[in-house]
Structure 1
Amino acid sequence: MKADNVSITPSGRPSVRISSKKAYNSGLFVFDVNHVPTGCSTWPAYWLVGPSWPTNGEIDILEGVHTQTKNTITLHTDNRCTMAGVAQSMTGTSSQYKDCDVNASNQPSNTGCGVTDSRNNSFGSGLNNIGGGVYILLWNTSIQVWFFPRNAIPKDITSGEPSPSEWGLPVADFPFEESCSSTAFKNMNIVIDLTFCGDWAGLSSATSEYNCPVDCNAFVQNNPSAFTSAYWDINSLKVYEV
């Protein structure tokens, strides 16, 4: 799945967004990807989202902008979920913002509560250079996410018999307990998309951080050859009942 990388466009750039017809309320989601979109002005994501956002939640499993190489895993909810004061057993680094509520008064709008994978091969060109890998979401009594690079995928995953108890700590761990209700995540559809600019990649702070053109919209419209790497190459997406 890819964006147009040939045309100079009058506005925006033809891109892609696909969603599952089925909605989920739990599951083990195994996403095997060879290549993710990367480059200035890109904002690719693999995520789950419920109807009447943010009432039924959002789980961003694989997401980043521009030339980012570390994956960001984030929850977006209404006021029923926060990670403030919650013990998270994981290898990733928790964001300074702990409230998953998109309207939380003590943090920027729609920030959510995020975790960053410390590995420089978990997103973008870093991931593409190693031939991709597998991202796994386990959603039952908590929300947990693992990432395995291509050369380190457990055999139980490749054999189609995933066994989460054998994988060690996840990159991200969001427990359901008193401060985060499981009811904040309901009837969620799988989404894979590629946005250009937008509320994250289009921010001046984001373009500056990754040394990308300040005028994101103009860059997207007038530089098709900049988007030759703006594509998804996906092996499979398997969903197991839990």
Structure 2
Amino acid sequence: MDHIPTGPFPYANKSIWHSSPIWPAWWMNGDGANGEFDMFEGYEPNDRASITIHDWNANLYGNCTIPSNITQYYNGSGNAYGGASQFSPDDTSLEPFNKAGGGVYVMQWDHGKFIREWTFVKPNIPADILNGSPNPNPDTWGMPNAYFPFGKNCNSEVVNNMYLILNIAFCNPPVTEECKDVVRMQPEAFNETYFLINYMKVFCRPNEQCLTGIYGSG
């Protein structure tokens, strides 16, 4: 990915907006009782990505809570909401990411065990990714930037039968009138609000079918 969407810097009249004018995201969603996993959500003026697991059916699977000692397993920038939302390191999102020339977001989903994620900013990209290896090895990449273990704290069925989504929305909740006015009245402020993507790859284990269809919208 060479460019992450950016927009107007979210300060006006020396007051901080409660809503980011842009809300780019790369995420997975499921149908019915399945939850959601966000590999990347960007909110100005943060220079780090929000990485989150959502359980939309607590009555069926219980609430996902991440163990308090989770920070020993990843080197991100902290967490929120009981660890269900973690953050990539500083300078791995939005303007700093773009100024570095882009990079790679990688998510490893080992169903029943964990989800891990890494963010690599150029030029610090592992050789097996850079060289297009058909079998990249996450165990050689060092500590992940986010880690979500499954087990007693979070049922692995929360994320199941998922599909990938890449989108840009405007004014994340809680939406303010100030944010909506900027979107309506300053279209020129969104000239840099786009994704520039070289590729998106899905890797499956040998003899495993993990990609069953491609969905799109016109």
TM-score (norm 1): 0.71
Q: Which structure 2 residues correspond to residues 6-21 of structure 1 after superposition, within 5 A?
A: none
Which of 170, 176, 191 is 1:196 aligned to? 170
Aligned match of 1:68: 46
Aligned match of 1:45: 25
Aligned match of 2:211: none
Contact preservation (8 Å) 1:38, 1:67: no
Within 2, Cα distance between the matches of 1:136 and 1:75? 16
- 1:94 deviates by 3.4
- 1:65 deviates by 1.6
Aligned match of 1:234: 197
Q: Which structure is higher in RCO with an 8 Å CA cutoff and minimum separation 6?
A: 1
Within 1, Cα distance between the matches of 2:70 and 2:147? 9
Contact preservation (8 Å) 1:142, 1:173: yes
Query: Is 1:90 matched up with 2:77?
Result: no
- 1:86 deviates by 5.3
Q: Which structure 2 residues correspond to residues 118-129 of structure 1 after superposition, within 5 A?
A: 118-120=89-91, 122-129=92-99
Query: Is 1:175 matched up with 2:149?
Result: yes
- Unaligned runs of 5+ residues in structure 1 are 1-32, 100-112, 205-213
Amino acid at match of 2:193: A
Number of aligned residue pairs? 183
Identity of aligned residues (%): 34
Contact preservation (8 Å) 1:35, 1:127: yes
Within 2, Cα distance between the matches of 1:193 and 1:221? 19
Contact preservation (8 Å) 2:27, 2:39: yes
Aligned match of 1:104: none
Q: Which has the higher strand share?
A: 1
- 1:95 deviates by 2.2
Within 2, Cα distance between the matches of 1:179 and 1:94? 19
Contact preservation (8 Å) 1:50, 1:56: yes
Which of 79, 87, 102 is 1:116 aligned to? 87
Q: Aligned Cα RMSD in Å?
A: 1.7
Shift of the 118–158 alpha-carbon distance from structure 1 to 2, 3 Å rule, reads closer
Aligned match of 2:104: 134
- 1:93 deviates by 3.3
Shift of the 194–96 alpha-carbon distance from structure 1 to 2, 3 Å rule, reads closer
- 1:179 deviates by 1.2
Shift of the 36–199 alpha-carbon distance from structure 1 to 2, 3 Å rule, reads same
Contact preservation (8 Å) 1:38, 1:65: no
Within 2, Cα distance between the matches of 1:96 and 1:123? 18
3-state secondary structure, aligned to 1:230: coil
